[in-house]
Structure 1
Amino acid sequence: MSGSPDRPAGIVTRSVAAVVDAAVVGLAEAAGYFAVAAVSYAAAPWSFRWPAPPPVFTGVLGGVFAIVYLTVSWRTLGRTYGGALLGLRVLTDGGRRLGWPRAALRALFYVVFPVGLLWVAVSPRRRSVPDVVLRTTVRYDWTTEGVSTKDPV
């Protein structure tokens, strides 16, 4: 295990979780690309060409998917797939599950300003910029059950 239970997670663990989550988003985007190609091929196999979406479209689509993935994961389970692999859970400073608005703002923050995660390395409380702004924390939590049953803030 990477850390003591209920202890704030450090930069290395959180960075590895972020890389795993980026891979999840990338694989989902690739799966979508191949699904579009398969439908296109099935519709007209004799004139099939691989789809060539503009890079801006691909980037925006990946960003939107990342925001949805992070928001839903943090709101429902308190963790993403990367967080689950590394035993991390995102909570409010009060130890509660994030509500939809806070989870969505946190996800938007991470997608638009990913360098904010680096603040964890110098923060005495191991908090990223979004953690400070939105009053959240990332803790080691290897339990498999859900977070506190208290109402989300």
Structure 2
Amino acid sequence: MRTDAPVSIVPREAQPYQGRRAGLVSRSIAGVIDGVVVVAVLLGGYLSVNGLRFLINPRGFQFSEASPVPGVTTGLLILVVYLAVAWSATGRTYGCHVMGLRVVSGRGGLLRPHVALLRAVFCALFPLGLLLCAGGRQHNSVQDLVLRTSVIYDWRPRATTMRS
């Protein structure tokens, strides 16, 4: 027997949450996943630079010393670029994708690039602002309140809203 009913891409169990604001646990897990992505990129860059140094001078090769201050600064820069590009392009990072989240503007659309960049800098420099979303019904972090953004549950593969 054939039915012509449309098939939803949102899992049945998730449908009641589609479009609702995400809480602390979902957002924190997505943040940890994104942190792992940034550390992997940073480690890959370190290994690539040392691999290039080895190719240039194999006999005198020694691994370069990984200093904490440049390493943290580079990691924060990678994090800001990663978050800003992902949020302005699709509204989600890899961590958001895994957790079924999307960062949206106050009107529900994709973030403008400058807003995404400001939010990324804010999140990188003040990650404790996320804790505010544990209280209250709106689940807004400090970043959300200041920049008028929201993090919602959205399992759709692409944002169907307009850039606002």
TM score, norm. by length of structure 2: 0.89
TM-superposition CA deviations, 1:15-40 (whole Å, max 9, x none): 00000000000000000000011001
Aligned residue number for residue 105 of structure 2: 92
1:73 aligns with 2:82: no
Out of 19, 24, 35, the position equivalent to 1:11 is: 24
> For 1:110-121, what aligned pairs fall within 5 Å after superposition?
110-121=123-134
Give the aligned partner of residue 61 of structure 1: 74
The 5 Å alignment of 1:137-152 reads 137-148=150-161, 150=162, 152=163
For residues 112 and 46 of structure 1, what CA distance do their matches in structure 2 show?
A: 41
Alignment-derived partner of residue 114 in structure 2 = 101
Match of 1:36 in 2: 49
Rounded to whole Å, the distance in 1 between the matches of 2:98 and 2:150 is 18
Q: Which one has a bigger Cα radius of gyration?
A: 2
Asked if 1 retains the 8 angstrom alpha-carbon contact of 2:96 and 2:102, the reply is: yes
Q: For the Cα contact (< 8 Å) 2:110–2:159, is it kept in 1?
A: no
| Residue 126 of structure 1 pairs with residue 139 of structure 2 | yes
Residues in 2 aligned to 1:85 and 1:40: alpha-carbon distance in whole angstroms: 36
Q: Secondary structure at the match of 2:17?
A: coil
* Contact 2:129/2:141 (<8 A) preserved: yes
**Divergent runs of 4+, >3 A:** none
- Alpha-carbon contact 1:97-1:147 (below 8 Å) kept: no
2: CA distance between counterparts of 1:22 and 1:102? 21
Give the drift of 1:54: 2.0
SS at match of 1:89: strand
- Structure 1 distance, partners of 2:112, 2:160, is 12
1:145 is displaced (CA, Å) by 2.1
| TM score, norm. by length of structure 1 | 0.95
What is the deviation of 1:124? 2.0
Give the letter aligned to residue 106 of structure 1: R
C-alpha separation in 2, matches of 1:107 and 1:123: 23
SS, match of residue 46 in structure 1: coil
